[in-house]
Structure 1
Amino acid sequence: MGSAADSRVEKSITRAAEALFAAQRSSGSWPNRRPTSVMGTAGALTALHLADRERSHDLVDRGVQWLLGAQNADGGWGGSVGTATQVVPTVIAATALRMAAPHRTGESVRRALALVESHGGVEALPDPGMTHVTSVFLALAELRDMRDLRRVPLEVFLLPPRLWRRRLSFSVPLLVALAFIQRRHSRPKGLPGMLDRPAGRAGLRALQQVEIAETRRGGYGGDNWLASAVCVGLSRAEEAPSRATLDVVDYLRSNVHADGSWHLIQGLDLIGSAYVTRGLAEAGYADDPRLVRARTWLRGCQQDEASPVFDAPAGGWSWEGPRGWPNLLDTAVVLSALTTGGVEEPDEQLRHGLRWLESRQDRKGSWGTFVPDTAFPNDGPCPYATAQCVDVLAENGTRRHDPRIRRAVNWLLSRQRTDGTYEALWYRGLTPGTAMALVALSRVGLADHPVAGRARDALVRAQLDDGSWGPGRTGGLGDDPSTGTVEETAWALRALLASGMPADDPRVRRAADWIASAQRPDGLWQPSPVHMYIRDLTYYVDGLIVHGLALKALGSYRAALAGAASEGREVS
């Protein structure tokens, strides 16, 4: 006999599906309405103030007012309005205010810098790269001496790309920008000084290679903060044509919102739509014509050109659409959505995408995000990404003993932390990494392996009293281990079910009931800042992914209930 909680889940699925289909575009995609960003806004203010001051004065003034209104009571800023304070967005916001409006923002800046110092300053950041980035922006605001900072060597771009691609990965635009900013204040001496002019031209060529594949001119990865940093760098590079700087300025000006703010990343409709498509399919709508249209749209976004910067062939997907930066994790999510199409739908793009994903596996068996075998710490290898790739390849017929799956599984088995958890590079805390690893191990028939058992036990221990999951105790500024989120609860619930935990287990039922009870009156769920922008340092909110994750978890729960009932086991 079904319980009231199960009835609530059934109604929750129906309401969410109705709300999502009502919001679907005629193309088959969904609009991804995300909160505007502190980093995006602060970056745009800095860039427009330094590179387009006269023409963009009104935009800068409105942005200053927005940032002042977004400041938290403790003096800091989080990734978006109302989110917990983190050091990196606080530094970027404070330096933007000091540069753009020093006379009317002095007290706000003072409070922000005092908060940063109370946490050990930027030197205490766990990522040396972000210590350098924030120090450069402090120097731009005349709060540090640029000459005291470690120099970013532009001359590395005089080497063949194969020698720097794996070390720099997706950081190429930012590193070129930082090098140009620093160079304006302090010219290198000795051999680097002799190579300075050709190195500057080589840096510009690297930027041009990145921009070849952009969705829009001047938009680097659709990322307003990154585009802003590039804009500042270009405005300080004498080799750069003025048109290059103006392209970024025009891009930023076109993206501003009526309230004076900017998004962090503009083009996340594709990845969000992929999550929603898979979630609706898990919830019982796989054959619905509206979902068929969504999969058709996703197929049409497959990239048909190679990416020279990432040395990637055609066949992957980017978060932006048919153009942009080919991304291994996003490709795996899109392929997961296409997998639900069945044999009656064209599968050329699915097969091509699976081959592309296989070709991007690291030598050790793992997957990262952009460049295989990269040494760049914010790219890969990643337990979550590896597990996601194993899951979609195995779901599409790659056997457990296939060398690619075997190497990936062996890598996952070796990467478990002593407490049974797994990390994730692109989501906060340990819940998503642990959950996705458990799903992958279960997919290939290893749900009873001791490693899978430890991961399952770790998830069970981390469940909060109300039935939800949060990030756990990370020790990071901005994480609240006592509060659950829909995203993290959905990841954990699906993993426990995939590993064989019965649907009538009280822990499973409480999780499903919590997700259903968290549903808003409009039928959808409130997104939380669980998505990693800068590893362990800055989070952002995604408006669509939460719905896909929630529906996938609730759909899995409903299927497990039905399976238990069909086997004759009482569900009460």
Structure 2
Amino acid sequence: MDSRVEASIAHAAETLFALQRPDGSWPNRRPTAVLGTAGAMAALRIADPARSRDLVDRGARWLLSAQNPDGGWGGVVGAATQLVPTVIAAATLHLLDPEGHRKPVRRALDLVRSHGGVQALTDPGMAHMARTFLALAGLGDLKGSRRIPLELLLLPPRLWRGRLSFRVAPFVAMAFIQARHSPPTGLGRLLHRAARQAGLRVLGRVERGENDPGGYGGDNWLVAVVCIGLSCAGAPPATIADAVDYLRSNVQADGSWHIMQGLDLIGGSYLARGLAGAGHADDERLVRARQWLRGCQQDHAFPVFDAPPGGWGWEGPRGWPNFLDSANVLSALAVAGEEEDGGRLRRGLRWLESRQDRTGSWGTFVPDTTLPNDGPCPYVTAQSVEVALDCGASPDDPGVRRALDWLLAHQRRDGTYEALWYRGLTPGTAMALVAFGRAGLAGHPVARRAREALLRAQLADGSWGPGETGVLGDDPSPGTVEETAWALRALLAAGVPADDPRVRRAADWILAAQQPDGLWQAAHICMHIRNFAYYVDGLIVNGLALKALGSYRAALAADICEKREA
């Protein structure tokens, strides 16, 4: 047994339990974000210019300090440049003070042009968002832009829910902004008048499901977009004020904003899984964490997504229920099984099973959606398979079998898998490999290709990064703790021996990356906008590292036992 692994796990657990709140949760300490800050500044400048002037000025100073040497911005301070944060930040600075911010804005826009301009954004929604912010700042116009069909909301929700999914709120907001800056004419004007009321009603239904008034998804960036849209639509002042007050309440001491406000639940579920996998499943402090996670199960339906009660969202007992967070919480609860309020576990499993696509996969918010950014997702599908197996399902269970068949049929040609909510190719490939290994399919040709693809992507120092994605902001050279931990656990689940040099190098790299306080440094691997804006989660990294080291320790012990028996 490697004493370094024991010491590493003990040190991390000691630090994490010391940080735990009395209710069993953990504070998610993470850096603030460029999009959250730029969006909030633009919204307050438009909707609350007099009262919020000091906040906007402080935000501008923070945003200028966060600009990269190349003239662009990444998701957080120090992250590699990406197009969406760069366009939004530049447009916001120009909106606030065209003359005073002339130089930083020019540098940013020159950089955007060097990467192909806004046209290089392959996602039509994000391309339209970028053009809209440039138009708001007077740096462009919306003439010729494809019209957003707000009248779609005049149809029954079942006819538009699968197309819009979690983008319904920004869809409405962007339609309001477009109508203000490029008013419809003729019949379109009459349709928009009726659709405007439908859009306001939909936003009202979204807000009624939130934890806080004005907090759409607990997402400052989305709240900002909605706030601007409501202002352009001439919405009731109280509705606009809720969004403004939400943004004002979330500003940080340095003048910046987070993208997502409440991520304690998703990060806490990763921590609970990691600590249990590292040998602390029965610790009373982890029992308390599981109690907190169960208490966050949603007891109300979320009609906009047609979601029944029983799931989890990233904010807590209310908010947007989604499949990824629910699967992660269920994985953390499965350790205790029926011993700790098994009714919550069974209810959550039924909820997750009801969200499976007809094809066998899982997306994130709405089953069978046609929105590419929602689903189907290999990572969520593989995670859901692992949860089902953790809770006693057989690989031949119909739902599990359909999910495995979907994964087997949807591998990329190079042997990898993507993940909708984590960058690059490492997380999706690793989770698929875990699912295959757990289901007894490690020897399947598809699983072997995934394993070889993962091994090929290992960097010279033993770590993993995102892989060769070709996406702006994805640097394949430096490894991260998150991606290395995903890969290490996957290789062990696929049957690669613990004493294999490649596995040992990965474990050594994670051990060496541990900080003096016992924790690991988080990287910008979490996607806020697929391939266009990333953020950092300070809890997920520690949960993944502990889970991987726990698997490595168990594999080392199994090897020792086998050798003794031999």
- TM-score greater than 0.5 by the shorter chain: yes
What is the aligned partner in structure 2 of residue 110 from structure 1?
106
Deviations 1:49-96 (A, max 9, x none): 000000000000000000000000000000000010000000010011
Q: How far 1:343 sits from its partner (Å)?
A: 4.0
Q: Hey, which bits of structure 1, 4+ residues long, moved more than 4 A?
A: none
* 2:150–2:196 Cα contact (<8 Å) kept: yes
Q: Which amino acid aligns with 2:40?
A: A
**Are 2:199 and 1:203 equivalent residues in the alignment?**
yes
Aligned mate of 1:55, from 40, 51, 56: 51
Q: How far 1:569 sits from its partner (Å)?
A: 5.5
User: 1:537-556 counterparts in 2 under 5 A?
Assistant: 537-556=532-551
Within 2, Cα distance between the matches of 1:427 and 1:202? Answer: 34
What is the aligned partner in structure 2 of residue 94 from structure 1?
90
Structure 2 residue matching 1:426: 3-state secondary structure: coil
Within 1, Cα distance between the matches of 2:478 and 2:178? Answer: 42
What is the aligned partner in structure 1 of residue 395 from structure 2?
400
Within 1, Cα distance between the matches of 2:187 and 2:303? Answer: 29
Q: How far 1:234 sits from its partner (Å)?
A: 0.4
Deviations 1:210-254 (A, max 9, x none): 11110101011010000000000001112x111010000000000
* 1:282–1:555 Cα contact (<8 Å) kept: yes
What is the aligned partner in structure 1 of residue 225 from structure 2?
229
* 1:64–1:101 Cα contact (<8 Å) kept: no
Q: How far 1:506 sits from its partner (Å)?
A: 0.9
* 1:123–1:131 Cα contact (<8 Å) kept: yes
Report the aligned-residue RMSD: 1.1
* 1:155–1:192 Cα contact (<8 Å) kept: no
Q: Which amino acid aligns with 1:179?
A: A
What is the aligned partner in structure 1 of residue 147 from structure 2?
151
Within 2, Cα distance between the matches of 1:510 and 1:463? Answer: 10
User: 1:117-156 counterparts in 2 under 5 A?
Assistant: 117-156=113-152
Q: Which amino acid aligns with 1:284?
A: G
Aligned mate of 2:261, from 238, 263, 266: 266
What is the aligned partner in structure 2 of residue 430 from structure 1?
425
Q: Which amino acid aligns with 2:310?
A: G
What is the aligned partner in structure 2 of residue 75 from structure 1?
71
Q: How far 1:187 sits from its partner (Å)?
A: 2.0
Which segment drifts farther, 413-422 or 397-406?
397-406
Deviations 1:411-469 (A, max 9, x none): 10011111111111111110000000000111111111111111111111111111100
Q: How far 1:570 sits from its partner (Å)?
A: 10
Structure 2 residue matching 1:145: 3-state secondary structure: coil
* 1:395–1:443 Cα contact (<8 Å) kept: no
**How many residues end up aligned between the 2 structures?**
566
Within 1, Cα distance between the matches of 2:379 and 2:156? Answer: 31
Q: Which amino acid aligns with 1:519?
A: Q
Aligned mate of 1:378, from 373, 382, 387: 373
User: 1:522-561 counterparts in 2 under 5 A?
Assistant: 522-561=517-556
User: 1:92-491 counterparts in 2 under 5 A?
Assistant: 92-238=88-234, 240-491=235-486
What is the aligned partner in structure 1 of residue 559 from structure 2?
564
Within 1, Cα distance between the matches of 2:493 and 2:142? Answer: 53
Q: Which amino acid aligns with 2:198?
A: A
Within 1, Cα distance between the matches of 2:155 and 2:105? Answer: 41
Q: How far 1:147 sits from its partner (Å)?
A: 2.6
Structure 2 residue matching 1:539: 3-state secondary structure: strand
Within 2, Cα distance between the matches of 1:391 and 1:342? Answer: 14
Structure 1 residue matching 2:217: 3-state secondary structure: coil
TM-score w.r.t. length of structure 1: 0.98
Name stretches of at least 5 consecutive residues in structure 2 with no aligned partner. none
Within 2, Cα distance between the matches of 1:255 and 1:100? Answer: 20
Within 1, Cα distance between the matches of 2:460 and 2:487? Answer: 14
Within 1, Cα distance between the matches of 2:98 and 2:11? Answer: 49
* 2:337–2:345 Cα contact (<8 Å) kept: no
Q: How far 1:11 sits from its partner (Å)?
A: 1.1
Within 2, Cα distance between the matches of 1:88 and 1:200? Answer: 28
Q: How far 1:341 sits from its partner (Å)?
A: 1.6
Within 2, Cα distance between the matches of 1:309 and 1:142? Answer: 34
* 1:94–1:113 Cα contact (<8 Å) kept: yes
* 2:39–2:220 Cα contact (<8 Å) kept: yes
Percentage of matched positions with identical amino acids: 70
Deviations 1:162-217 (A, max 9, x none): 00000000001101110111111222123322222111000001101111110101
Aligned mate of 1:492, from 487, 490, 503: 487
* 2:313–2:326 Cα contact (<8 Å) kept: yes
Deviations 1:23-57 (A, max 9, x none): 00000000001100000000000000000000000
Structure 1 residues 84 and 570, CA, compared in 2 at 3 Å: closer, same or farther? Answer: farther
Structure 2 residue matching 1:513: 3-state secondary structure: helix
Deviations 1:526-562 (A, max 9, x none): 0001111111111111110000000000000001111
* 1:332–1:389 Cα contact (<8 Å) kept: yes
Within 2, Cα distance between the matches of 1:380 and 1:236? Answer: 31
* 2:265–2:293 Cα contact (<8 Å) kept: yes
Within 2, Cα distance between the matches of 1:394 and 1:308? Answer: 30
